[in-house]
Each structure stands twice: as C-alpha cells, then as structure tokens.
Amino acid sequence: MPRRLDSAQPPIAPIFTSQIEAADPTARDIQSRRWIYIPYDRFTDRVGPISEQPAEETGIVIVESTAKAHRRPYHKKKLVLLISNMRHFALEQAARGVSVLYHFSPLSHGQALRLLQEERSLPTLTLMQPAERELRLDLAQAVTDGLQLSQVPDTTWLSQTEDFTSVYGPYHREKGHTNTQSYVMDRFYRAMRKKSGILMENAKPVGGQFSYDADNRNPYKGQVPVPSPPSFPPDAITSEVITYVGQKYAHHFGSIEGFDMPCTQADCDRMWSFALDHLLPTFGPFEDAMRDDHLQLFHSRTSAFVNLARHLPLQLVRDVEQAAAKSRIPLASAEGFIRQLLGWREFMRHLHEQTDGYRLLDVPQESKPRAQELSPDRDEQTDPYTTSKAEPSARKKQIALPPDPYAGATPSALGASLPLPAVYWGVKSGLHCMDTVVAQVVEEGWSHHINRLMVLSNLANLCGFSPRELTDWFWFAYVDAYDWVVEPNVLGMATYADGGLTATKPYVSGAAYINRMSNYCGHCQYDPKKSVGPGSCPFTALYWSFLERNQQILGNNFRMQMPYNTLRKKSSADLVQLRARSEEAIAHLQSFKRPGY
Ligand SMILES: Cc1cc2nc3c(=O)[nH]c(=O)nc-3n(C[C@H](O)[C@H](O)[C@H](O)COP(=O)(O)OP(=O)(O)OC[C@H]3O[C@@H](n4cnc5c(N)ncnc54)[C@H](O)[C@@H]3O)c2cc1C
Ligand code: SF4
C-alpha cells in the first residue's frame, strides 16, 4: 500500500482525541448535513454558515495542520492558543450536536481538505472568505487540484469591500502611490460610523465629535489603580497542547511557561466582561502610556481573540456603546476603543486585500529580502507550502526557482535594509525601553500598541532595519498576528515602508517622547536628556540622523516641517557628533549574535 500523503505522526493528544471521536460523522451524517470548513481563525457559531441551520443538520471540518505551524517559528504560546482554542471549539460544537470531522495533517489546509473530501466522500464545503491571504492562496490551489468549496462573505467583519471602495475607490497600482492622501483612515471611520449608526444620534456623532483622540494622551503616574486581569489556568485539553507544543516546537520563539490565556468560549466571554467593567472605563486617557511595572495598563487584550472570532467586533462595539450610554464608560474612552475596531482594524484589512498584501505598491523594494532566510523554520521538510522534494537540491545547485507566492512583500520606501538584531530575540541591549518590551513579547507574545509603534518599530526605523524582517518578526512573535493585520501595521503604519499609503508620516521620535509617555527612562543606564557623549540615550542621536538620512524623501512632508526646521538649525559640528553617536549605537546593537531557527 502506498503511504498516504497526509498521514501524520500520531499527535500527543489522547485526551482530546478520546473526547472528539464520538462526534466523528457517520456515512448518513455526511449525506444529510450541511458541511462547513472552519479555518484556524474562525471559532464562532454566532454568525456565518454554521449559525444558519440547527446543530443536528450541521457538520464541520477542522484541520490541524503542522505545515502551517512550521511555516514560521511562531511563538510557542501562540501555537498553544490556536491549537487549544481549535480543539475546544471542536468539543463545544460536538457538545451541542454538530458532527465534527477533526483532522490532523502535515499538509497545508487546502491539500489536507482535498484528500479528506475524496476519502470521506464529503459534499461541497461551505466556508467564509478567509481573512489570511496565505490561506486564500492555499485553498485556491487546492480548488484547482479538485477541492470543492463554496465561498460566502465573512460576516464576522463590520464592513465589506464596498464599504472601503465607496470611500476611496478601488486601489490602482499606478494611482496608489501618488494618491496617498486619500487613504487617511478617518474618512473610512466616519463613513462607518454613519453607516452603522454606532455612537451616532440624529445623524450626528454622540457628544458632537467623531474623535476624542486629542484627549487620550496622558502618561500614567498612578492616578487610578490598575486592575489585575483574571487568569485562566490550563485545563486537561490545554495542558495536553502545552506538552505537545513544548516537545514538537521546542526551537520556536518565546516562552511556554505560565500559559494562562482563555481557550474556551466561556473563558473568552469572561475575559471580555472583565475588560468592559474594569479596563475600558480608564482606557482612553492612558491609551498611549507605557510602564515597566504595568505592562498591560488599561488595554483590553482582545486582539488575539477578535482575530480568532472568539469575540465578535460587533458585539464588543455594541457593548461599549451601551456602557457609554449608561455613563459606565466615559465617551472619550468608548470612542477611542470603538475607533480601533470599527476604524483601524477594518481599514487595515481592506488595504491589505486591495494591495494584494502590499505587493502592488509602486515604491522601492528591499534589494535582498532577508525574510527568505527567516522562514520556513528548520522542520521545512514537512512544509508543502514552500518545499517540494526537489527544492533543497535546487537550492544547492543555485537553480532559479519560480517566485514563491507566499514570500512576503518587501517595500522599503526609505531604503531600510539592515538585518534585525538580536535584541528583538531577547538579548539584553542595555536600552531599558527595548529590553522591557522585548522581554514581555518573549514571555507573553503581546505588548500594547504604543510599545509596538514607538519602541520596537521606532528603533527599527531610526536604525534602518529591514521592514520585511521586522514584519516577519512581529508575525511569529505576537499571538494576534496574521498577514492581513501584521503587514499593514508594520509595512504601513509603523515603518512607512509603503511610502505613505497607510500613514501620512513615519512614526519616529527621540528619547523625549518615550521619557514623557513612560517610566522607562527613569530605570535606564542612558540619560534621555543627553544626545551625545558618555551615557547619552541612543534614540535622540538616531532620530536626528534618521531625519538627515531621509531628508530628500521626507523633507517636504508637511507633517514633518517642525523637526526639519530644527534639524536645519543644527551646526555641522553637532551633526557630525550626532552621526557618530548614531553609528556607534547601531554597531552596538548589531554586535550581538542572533539566534537561528
Ligand atoms: C507594529 C505594529 C504591529 C501590529 N501588529 C498587530 C497584529 O499582528 N495583530 C493585531 O491584531 N494588531 C496589531 N497591531 C495593532 C494593535 O497594536 C493591536 O491590535 C493592539 O495593541 C492589541 O491590543 P489590545 O487587544 O489590548 O487592543 P486595544 O488597544 O484594547 O484595542 C481594541 C481592539 O482594536 C483592534 N485594533 C487596535 N488597533 C488596531 C490596528 N492598528 N490594527 C488592527 N486592529 C487594531 C484590536 O483588534 C483590539 O482588539 C499592530 C500595531 C503595530 C504598531
Ligand atoms: S533613556 Fe533612551 S534607551 Fe533608555 S529607556 Fe529612555 S529612551 Fe530608552
């Protein structure tokens, strides 16, 4: 007998498999039920095809693919979170009478589904349009190879493509770069507020303003206590996943110790209730604050769960709107949170889709994309996305391979291309802000928005580290990262690699901003008030050198006029010293060896 292509090593999951076996479909189930494919990021029965008929008439297919897990050195806690939520979702559906075909495979999702459909005589599978570009490509190939799928719109989103194109028009490569002003997110957000009626009264924004962003910029200095979030200790299913991931993906990024994230719908709901009652009332004013003693502050930490569809954005937005109406959440906090979900999250996803994952931009590309060296991880033999049997020898012989459709986009409008240094892997640099945030990412696979933007990405911009490498790092290191959200956030908002499509100016700062918005500098060996000389903070010299280096591209940007006016007033002697300090700082960061995968 030939070995079946998708026969997997038996998973270390006796507890889970013994529980899910009973839900495996009979021949009659297969004939009589409507069959739905549930991808690895859509664990909801509250909307979509799964909610359209009674449980006894529903069947679902779930694929646990090791090919996907091996594609990048994903944080171990991210893998535990995904796999445990996947297994718990399967059991939750089985408990309400849904027939569950749960399949382990070393193949990609598409190829595993194709073989499964053939072997089990499954009818056409319905699925919501996948959020990830990678999955869309994988399924498209499987459909070409014979998989029968019927795709319907994904109703977990708050908007559909037309909501975006009716504001900006469809994206055109030739117009995209010159027409950047029109992608200001606020236009989409206002249109969505009007269309949805969220935080609107008599066709006017509640409180008279669409945005209260200007009110939301305070540092945190203990004004109100920071509540302790609930913990979700692993149950038997999650413990089994922790053991499995710890063994199979031991070489991946991040710590697996102390995993305590929600993995059931009930726990996800409990986490949201806590955020709604205890965090969001104080979210707005301290949204941009950073602390080394309160890393989460008042952020909801919902992103990983919204991106898995455990939380539905409409429900979160409506809950917050109602709480604001009852004065349980101040309007500025409620609006700040709603803007993230109704505005930024939807906007980013459309921009990614419209530009084919930032591949259609008319901007300079990195000449040597190092992203290829980062992925897939060392178990690539099992990864059919990128690896055929012929591929390794082709590499050795330097035979040109066809372009990999899964390779990431490599825009670099500012010409940044230096390798990402070891500090992003947790090697201590002595920069207290960086060391604190990276330690949190290694530990938890998460940090809040301003740490991502104004510490991790800021340093990368200032030094000229490769935007693609930074994107890939965020992608595997963060529990909430998927291509549709991480690429626009990093290549667009955070690094300006897209030349201004997503943000009107680069988010860069010297030490003054970090010092004002955090307590990091108070615990650092460097002095945020000194820009050159012994003990000077590297951020400030790097900032001025960044402006100088990019003067041709950014010098006329109307939002950069103030810093450029200051730069122009600096003497040549000052600029020489700043350049020297900045080169020294980059050399220091590059001097540590980066772990390989
Ligand atoms: C460099 C960089 C990389 C990022 N990578 C990701 C990523 O991989 N995945 C991800 O979900 N978010 C990403 N973001 C956006 C944002 O930082 C996170 O969504 C947020 O910090 C998650 O924390 P929270 O759940 O406490 O969100 P809150 O601050 O409480 O915000 C509420 C919700 O708004 C949504 N949201 C807020 N901002 C954004 C945004 N810019 N894009 C999309 N959704 C947003 C999230 O789903 C979140 O659940 C990135 C931002 C930057 C600057
Ligand atoms: S002094 Fe500079 S390096 Fe140190 S924490 Fe502040 S900004 Fe970061």
Ligand 1 centroid from CA 303, angstroms = 6
With a 6 A CB cut-off, is 345 part of the ligand 1 pocket?
yes
d(CA 280, CA 216): 13
Looking at residue 173, its pLDDT comes to 67
The answer to whether residue 412 scores a pLDDT higher than 90 is yes
pLDDT digits (tens, 9 = 90+) for 474-518: 999 999 999 999 999 999 999 999 999 999 999 999 999 999 999
Longest CA span, the chain:
83
Q: Is the pLDDT of residue 245 over 80?
A: yes
Find out whether the beta carbon of 302 lies less than 6 Å from any atom of ligand 1.
Answer: yes
**pLDDT of 111 above 70:** yes
Does ligand 1 have an atom closer than 6 angstroms to the CB of 306? yes
| Token digits of residue 553 | 């591209």
Pairwise CA distance, residues 123 & 61, whole Å: 11
Contacts of residue 258, defined as CB under 8 A and 6 or more positions apart, other chains included, come to 443
Confidence (pLDDT) at 391: 35
Position 414 scores a pLDDT of: 97
Looking at all shown ligands, the one closest to residue 470's CA atom is 1
**497 and 467 Cβ atoms separated by less than 8 Å:** yes
Rounded CA gap, 487 and 18, in Å? 39
List the single range of 312-321, 392-401, 534-543 with lowest mean pLDDT. Answer: 392-401
Q: How many CB atoms lie within 10 A of CB 356?
A: 13
Of 155-159, 196-200, 201-205, 590-594, the one with minimum mean pLDDT is: 590-594
CA of 441 to the centre of ligand 1 (A): 14
Across the strands, what pairs with 128? 152
pLDDT on residue 217: 81
On the question of pLDDT at 396 being above 60, the answer is no
Task: Kindly state if the Cβ of 554 falls inside 6 Å of ligand 1.
Answer: no
Ligand 2 geometric centre to CA of 118 (Å) = 58
486 lines ligand 1 (CB under 6 A): yes
Contacts of 500 (CB under 8 A, 6+ apart): 177, 180, 413, 557
Nearest CA to 413 among 510, 508, 354, 492?
492
Q: Is the CB of 340 under 6 A from ligand 1?
A: yes
Nearest CA to ligand 1 atom 18: 449
SS3 37: strand
Best of 189, 303, 434 for a ligand 1 pocket test (most atoms within 8 Å of beta carbon)? 303
* DSSP three-state, residue 385: coil
Ligand 2, atom 8: closest residue by C-alpha: 433
| Amino acid at residue number 264 | T
Is 39 in contact with 140 (CB distance < 8 Å)? no
- Predicted local confidence at residue 499, as pLDDT: 93
Residue 215 pLDDT level (bands cut at 50, 70, 90): confident
**What's phi and psi for 92, nearest 5 deg?**
-60, -40
pLDDT at residue 409 tops 60: yes
Kindly state the percentage of the chain with pLDDT values over 70: 90
For residue 214, the model assigns a pLDDT of 78
pLDDT confidence bin for 178, thresholds 50/70/90: very low
**Could you identify the atom of ligand 2 that is nearest to the CA of residue 434?**
8
Give residue-wise pLDDT tens across range 523-550: 999 999 999 999 999 999 999 999 999 9
Q: Measure 534 CA to ligand 2 centroid, in angstroms.
A: 14
The residue with greater pLDDT, 374 or 573, is 573
Ligand 2 centroid vs 432 CA: distance in angstroms?
A: 6
Sign, Cα dihedral of 257, 258, 261, 263: positive
Q: For the chain, what is the mean pLDDT?
A: 91
| pTM score, whole prediction | 0.94
Whose atoms come closest to the Cα of 535: which ligand? 2
313 CA to centre of ligand 1 in angstroms: 13
Q: Is 301 in the pocket of ligand 1 (CB under 6 A)?
A: yes
Centre of ligand 1 from the C-alpha of residue 69, in Å: 22
330-336 mean pLDDT: 94
Residue 478 zone, left/alpha/beta (φ > 0; ψ -120 to 50; rest) = beta
pLDDT value at residue 399:
43
In this prediction, residue 394 carries a pLDDT of 36
Which residues contact residue 355 at a Cβ distance below 8 angstroms, ignoring those fewer than 6 apart?
Answer: 171, 176, 361, 501
510 alpha carbon to ligand 1 midpoint, in Å? 23
Question: Which residue of 295, 449, 469, 475 sits with most ligand 1 atoms within 8 Å of its CB, as the best mutation to test the pocket?
Answer: 449
What is the pLDDT, as a whole number, of residue 557?
A: 93
Q: Residue 62: enclosing H or E segment and its boundaries?
A: strand 58-65
How sure is the predictor about 4, in pLDDT bands with cuts at 50, 70 and 90?
A: very low
Residue holding tokens 């200790």? Answer: 233
**Which whole number is the average pLDDT over 216-231?**
92
* pLDDT per residue as tens digits for the range 549-563: 999 999 999 999 999
C-alpha 186/C-alpha 297 separation (Å) is: 26
